[in-house]
Structure 1
Amino acid sequence: MRRRWRTVGVLAALTLLLTAPLPAVAQEKTDPPLTVPALSDWTPASGTYRYDRSTRLVADGAEERRVADTLADDLRDAGHGTPPVVRGGSRPGDIVIDVQPSRTTLGAEGYELRAGTRLSVTAATETGAFYGTRTLLQLLAQGDRVPAGRTVDVPRYKERGVGVCACYIHVSMPWLENLVREMAYNKLNQLLLELKVKSDAHPEANTWGYYTKDEIRGLVALGKRYHVEIIPEINSPGHMDPWIENRPDLQLTDSDGNKQPSRLDITRPEAFAYYTGLIDEYADVFTSTSWHMGADEYMLGSDFAKYPQILKYAQGRFGPDATPQDAFIDFVNRVHTYAVGKGKRLRIWNDGLTGANTVPVTSGTTVEHWLNVATKPSQLRAQGYPLMNAAYALYLVRGGFHSDTKGLYEQSWDPRSFEGEKLATAEGITGAKISLWPDNGRGETENEVAASLWPALRHLAQATWGDPHPDATYADFTARGTAVGHAPGWRDLTRVPVADGSYTFSSGSRSFDAGVTRTADGYATVRTADGCLEIRGGKLTLNVPLQPGVEATPQTCDSKNTLQRWQLEPASGGYRLVNAITRMPLGVTDGGRLAQYPPDQRTPAVWHLSSRP
């Protein structure tokens, strides 16, 4: 049994203090303080709670102390000093963290916050207590005084997420770390990452765009600390080209003998073994209890008739009435069985479920609905599949479609509103998420994507946690985001560490003169006498040159050309030049040329800058 307080007397006094009715407010009911998501239940009281340098964090048990330790670090990062974490009784000005499993009405993520002479956060779970501290941080972002009052704050949906496809175009780790912190700050709890982890078992698959296992372990640890589950995805059996472009033996072949580098041949045992082997490798670094296999757009731009071997395979397994779609569903179900054996629940996109199959998808598979196809959300729900809303209306496509966040807010959009159908109740709906896709990889930089993401993220947080329309106008709602600001520890990635001007860049025996000019999105152009440095050449993937060794050469300066934008990343007393789109730093070849390379393949050049008149 955990020791709750040092003496019975202290426990009794504190219990009386924290559970006693709050003093009535003399004036009329006041509005809740500003938070994102908004507090839907707020009982004001007279007075204020004041945070100051004498504040302590009172946390007795192991769960409370983990929450308090994270809160202490966040308070430091937010400029509020670092309050000590202590056990025992509280005093005026303290913050008390308390996990009481008996408070079952608060659920797995809800909490009660009381502000008076002290401030308390009470929850049934560690996660609930953590979310209570996010509300506290948002209140302190607006000043060191919190209006006295009480709230009981419980989410409406259990899955509140963001999906990021870093599957072709590498997304920087600082950007992803910012995202995890922002998600937690706004009480979002699920991050889907479609990406490539550098493989030890299959080095032939390690084309650029990958992350090292140590990078992923660090991100997963951050997610765990901030109660954001990071779910990996390797899309299959379609969109497999990042993994099988160098494995023609696994590629689906059409009736004309043409290999399809994006499609896994689901009729081959070797293909299934290859894919499940990747699941095993990802399990070394991802700790989530879910596995997302995508399963979308397998026949994109084609049809099963061009692949007679698929029908033959299906009929061989399920009889003469089987359809080619049955072979596809069979692959999904075999992955489901394998994932469950590894302790993971399977998730898939909905568009592959066209109703043309006689073999059903295994029960318990979560379907994430993004596209309006023949099989509707109501049918999936009636069939008992957990249903998540990943509507295209919530998408942010790099260089393409952007969600109309203002329009969605004004329509009071909520997770019952799927593409093509709105359900009458929330029964069976796990939640919703926004999705970021890199269809035109050079269409926008990471920083430009972030500028569009933060309003959409806050709207999704509001729509999945509470009332989808807490304010009369969208301007009022966005004012909430302005009031609470960014999460503690969030880094401003638009800061350029050198002033605009003319410099000599030197690295070893290689040097060149160039002017540095900050771009509107927080990168820099590097302009030589012959033009602006640009990554150009090699094979394009999503309109981006992603091959290692592609050179950076002077080209006609174009302010709209994102491949001419560079990040000056501080390193060893100088700077690395990292391309804003390809995310590879420049190295110097044996011939003295400038070329991009993954940082784990060739040591990046460190450039020392000296001002020129």
Structure 2
Amino acid sequence: MMNKGRFYRMAAWLALAGFLNAGMAEMLPAEDMLLPAPSACRSDRSAVARLPLRLAVYAPEKDVPAVEALLNVLNAQGVLSGLSMTGDRDSADVVCSVEGTPAGTGEGYEARLDAGQGGRGVLRLKAGASAGLFYAWQSMVQVLNANRTEDGFSVPVFSIRDVPRFEWRGIMLDVSRHFFTMAEVKRMIDTMSLFKLNRLHLHLTDGPGWRMEIKKYPLLTSMSAWRVPLANGEWNWQEVKLAIQEHDPEATYGGFYTQDQMREIIAYARSRQVTIVPEIDLPGHSYAAMHAYGDLICDGVDFPVEGKKGRDAVCMGRPETLRFVKDVVDELKAVFPPGSPIHLGHDEVSAEAWKKCRYCQNRLKDLNETDLKALSRDFLQQIADYVRKDGYDAIVWDEAGELEADKHIFVMAWRGNDFAAAAARKGHPVILAPCSHFYFDYYQSSAPTEPKAIGGLIPLRQVYGYELPELSPEEASKVRGLQANIWTEYLYDMGLVEYMAWPRALALAERAWSDCDPRDYKSFRSRAALALKLLEKLAVKYRPMDEED
């Protein structure tokens, strides 16, 4: 028979073993959690490194300014805290360096966690450019957060090499139909950057509102940025009433970004490796601009009645139109740094008003053309040339890719892979944003509990399963990346935007960053569940995954 002393010793030993095994079971290797999945990752579950909650970070003197700025961003992010610099490499918990020649976009990185004497961990992060170092840290945020203990982090040692699949990993936010504040836009930037999404395309203008200050045309924001609140709160374009005078007391719904506010958004985004892409939608979807400045309206158009019925394209023949657009582009260039892309719209353009407009018909004669498409092509080419002459890129929706314009114009293909392939074959750089997979204003499920949406159905699995168009290697080299679009007819606050974006944007992030099998949905779903816990910690709203996802 076992005596009491031996019994209690064995019980204590078993309890301790159970505690240790439970602790080990909770330790997640990097490859089981990172989203997007890295290019290569190996963990050793038998070797565990321990790091303190407050990490001391060392960087070579030449890299100190960049690393200090990065730590400030990470501390503000709110997942890790207490990150600080140290000048003592030997005692550092993290060693960062920017070295070597950046490959591709400069966003790639290497990360290694070693366990020294007594299990003391040292995290080594290396990249060829500061962008890569930023993404190394974003990966570490996920790894460390998932392996947090009461007094630090316990993580299986690992080695990671990671490079992005595409340079363009974007989300478009429609701020015309509903205005979102500077703070809300920054919140979206924070969440995007955590999962290596790096382009925030702001749809600044459309029929329901103009959202960017243009100093030469003040009525764009004193009138067309404001509208009368809809009676029942339900979206109805036909009932939208823009302000009929400056400071119209009835037009209280809306807002706009001053140029200084936009500069602040741009700087905030750049510190998080996100590029802001402004869109001025032309020549169609221009009701708000035409409402403020009647010189943009075609001869013979009964505006605003016909403008609400699709005749919302600016006049192609009036000299005021080209002058207006160039002035707007000039002010965008004064705000956005050289190298920024500028989106010029060109989707769903109705040419009906041009048929009877004497100015448009005169311009058509000057071009020695009879097809109204010639007006769009001439207009696009002039504006794209004007955008690009100072080192900016011009982007259009895929309808403009059919105009046989300059092949250096980027085409954002929203109507599907066939239109994307056609643009790539013509030599255009292409961004894939198909409404079949990446329109995040569509319903996420058929459940009656889903918030009202514009229509359609794109569940999470469908986003993740997106396949690129069939292209030759030369044509495939024209594909710059992927983008999801969030139109906001029914998304009147940031909570709804976030609900519609996440977790679908996680699938987008992985398809855009990781060159992995799109059919490995089980692995993605497991990692997405952990990513949603991280979003919950940051108080970001999302749609919970269910059994159908």
Normalising by structure 1, report the TM-score. Answer: 0.67
Note the C-alpha offset of 1:151.
Answer: 0.8
1:31-430 superposed matches below 5 A? 32-45=31-44, 46-53=46-53, 55-63=55-63, 65-75=65-75, 77-78=77-78, 80-87=80-87, 89-91=89-91, 94-102=93-101, 104-105=102-103, 108-116=106-114, 117-142=121-146, 143=148, 144-195=153-204, 196-206=211-221, 207=224, 208=226, 209-254=255-300, 260=307, 262-287=312-337, 289-299=340-350, 302=352, 305-307=355-357, 309-317=359-367, 319-320=368-369, 322-354=370-402, 360-372=404-416, 376-393=419-436, 394-397=438-441, 399-401=453-455, 404-409=458-463, 412-414=465-467, 416-417=468-469, 422-423=470-471, 426-430=476-480
Query: Quick one: structure 1 residues 475 and 345, their matched pair in 2 at CA, closer, same or farther if it must change by over 3 Å?
Result: closer
- What is the CA–CA distance in structure 2 between the aligned matches of 1:266 and 1:312, rounded to whole Å? 10
CA distance in 2 between counterparts of 1:33 and 1:145 reads 15
Identify if the C-alpha distance between structure 1 residues 311 and 63 changes in structure 2 by more than 3 Å, giving closer, same or farther. farther
Match of residue 500, structure 2, among 452, 473, 483: 452
Quick one: distance in 1 between partners of 2:68 and 2:48? 22
CA contact (8 A) 1:58 1:96 kept: yes
CA distance change for structure 1 residues 129 and 40 in 2, over 3 Å: closer, same or farther? same
8 Å CA contact 1:297–1:352 kept in 2: the answer is no
Alpha-carbon distance between aligned partners in 2 of 1:211 and 1:276, rounded to the nearest angstrom: 20
Secondary structure of residue in 2 paired with 1:485: helix
Aligned to 1:579: none
How far does the alpha carbon of each residue in 1:213-240 deviate from its partner, in whole angstroms, 9 at most, with x for none?
Answer: 2321221111010010001111111112
- For the residues of structure 2 that align with 1:348 and 1:100, how far apart are their CA atoms? 37
CA distance in 2, matches of 1:160, 1:48: 34
Once the 2 structures are TM-superposed, how far is the Cα of residue 371 of structure 1 from its aligned partner?
1.4
CA 1:77–1:205 in 2, change beyond 3 Å: closer, same or farther? closer
Q: How far apart are residue 31 of structure 1 and its match?
A: 7.2
Q: Does the 8 Å CA contact 2:171/2:200 hold for their aligned counterparts?
A: yes
Q: Pick the structure with more strand per residue.
A: 1
1:85, 1:402 → 2: CA distance? Answer: 50
Alignment of 1:539-558 (within 5 A): none
Change (3 A) 1:180 1:61: farther
* Distance in 2 of aligned mates of 1:372 and 1:461: 19
Residue identity in the other structure for 2:109: Y
Aligned partner of 2:141: which letter?
L
Aligned equivalents of 1:59 and 1:98: distance in 2?
A: 6
Change in 2 beyond 3 A, CA 1:87/1:269? farther
Structure 2: how far apart are the matches of 1:211 and 1:68? 30
Whether the aligned pair in 1 keeps the contact of 2:461 and 2:521 (CA below 8 Å) is no
| Separation in 1, partners of 2:455, 2:68 | 41
SS in 2 for 1:253: coil
Aligned-residue offset at 1:131: 0.4
The corresponding residue for 1:539 is none
Separation of aligned partners in 1, 2:493 and 2:184: 11
Amino-acid identity (%): 21
Query: What SS does the corresponding residue of 1:38 show, helix, strand or coil?
Result: coil
Q: Which amino acid is 2:421 matched to?
A: S
Distance 1:478 1:79, change over 3 A: closer
Within 2, Cα distance between the matches of 1:470 and 1:49?
Answer: 29
Superposed CA deviations along residues 45-78 of structure 1, whole A, max 9, x for unmatched, are 3523333156311122455532443235424653
Larger relative contact order (CA 8 Å, sep ≥ 6): 2
Partners of 2:104 and 2:409 in 1: CA distance: 27
Spell out, residue by residue over 1:358-382, the C-alpha distance to the aligned partner (whole angstroms, 9 max, x if none). xx31121000000159x83222112
Deviation at 1:473, TM superposition (A): 6.3
Gaps of 5+ in 1: 1-28, 495-519, 521-613
For this pair of structures, how many residues does the alignment match? 447
Q: Could you tell me how far apart the structure 2 residues matched to 1:474 and 1:113 are?
A: 21
The answer to whether the 8 Å contact 2:50/2:155 transfers is yes
- Aligned AA (1:459): A
SS at match of 1:263: coil
Residue 79 (structure 1) shift: 5.6
Quickly say closer, same or farther: Cα 1:308–1:473, change in 2 above 3 A: farther
**Post-superposition shift, 1:434?**
0.5
After superposition, the Cα gap between the structure-2 partners of 1:72 and 1:313, relative to the gap in structure 1 and judged at 3 Å, is closer
Poorly superposed stretches of 4+, deviation over 6 Å: 255-259
Partner of 1:606: none
SS of 1:392's partner is: coil
Shift of 1:110: 0.6
3-state DSSP of counterpart to 1:118:
strand
SS for the counterpart of 2:164 is: coil
1:312 offset after TM fit, Å? 4.2
Match for residue 489 of structure 2? 439
Structure 1 residues 67 and 435: CA distance shift in structure 2, 3 A: farther
Matched-pair contact (CA < 8 Å) for 1:68–1:85 = yes
Amino acid at match of 1:126: S
- One-letter identity of the residue aligned with 1:248: G
Q: Secondary structure at the match of 1:231?
A: strand
Range with bigger deviation, 174-183 or 61-70: 61-70
CA distance in structure 2 between the partners assigned to 1:53 and 1:407 by the alignment: 36
Alpha-carbon shift at residue 437 of structure 1 (Å)? 0.9
Seen in structure 2, the aligned counterparts of structure 1 residues 413 and 75 have a Cα distance that, compared at 3 Å, is same
Q: Is the contact between residue 72 and residue 85 of structure 1 (CA under 8 Å) also seen in structure 2?
A: no
Q: In the superposition, relative to structure 1, how do residues 190 and 473 fare at CA in structure 2: closer, same or farther (>3 Å)? A: same
- The 5 Å alignment of 1:514-525 reads none
The verdict on how the C-alpha distance between 1:362 and 1:409 changes in structure 2, with shifts beyond 3 A counting, is: closer
Q: What is the deviation of 1:101?
A: 2.9
C-alpha distance in structure 2 between counterparts of 1:34 and 1:334, whole Å = 48
Q: Secondary structure at the match of 1:432?
A: strand
Q: 1:475 to 1:133 in 2, by over 3 A?
A: closer
Cα distance between partner residues in 1 of 2:218 and 2:341: 25
> Within 1, Cα distance between the matches of 2:300 and 2:157?
69
Whether contact under 8 Å (2:172, 2:202) holds in the other structure is: yes
* Matches of 1:255 and 1:492, distance apart in 2: 46
Deviation, 1:281, is: 1.6
| Change beyond 3 A, Cα 1:225–1:77 | closer
- The residue number in structure 1 matching 2:11 is none
Which amino acid in 2 is paired with 1:462?
E
Q: Equivalents in 1 of 2:64, 2:261: separation in Å?
A: 28
Q: Is the 8 A contact 2:317 2:361 kept in 1?
A: no
CA distance in 1, matches of 2:76, 2:372: 58
1:464 aligned onto 2:512? yes
8 Å CA contact retained: 1:470, 1:477: no
Given the superposition, is the C-alpha separation of residues 326 and 149 from structure 1 closer, same or farther in structure 2, using an over 3 Å criterion? Answer: same
Counterpart CA distance in 2 for 1:449 and 1:289 is 25
> Alpha carbons of 1:203 and 1:65: their partners in 2 closer, same or farther (altered >3 Å)?
same
